[in-house]
Amino acid sequence: MLWTIITVLLVIWLLCLVFKIGGNLIHWLIIIALVLFIIHLL
């Protein structure tokens, strides 16, 4: 489940980078997802 969420967020993030949409919101979501992922690993 966690890997699915990370994959979806990364795909959305890449699409936002390519098409310059989404603004800062998706970047904050990526940061939150990475923090949760690191906490989950610990």
Residue 11's pLDDT is 81
pLDDT in tens, 9-41: 778 777 777 777 666 677 777 778 788 888 887
Residue 23's pLDDT is 64
Residue 16's pLDDT is 73
Q: Rounded to two decimals, what is the model's pTM?
A: 0.47
How far, in Å, CA of 34 to CA of 20, rounded? Answer: 21
Residue 8's pLDDT is 81
For 25, phi then psi, to 5°, come to -60, -50
Long-range contacts: 34-41, Cβ < 8 Å, 24+? 36/2, 37/2, 37/6, 40/2
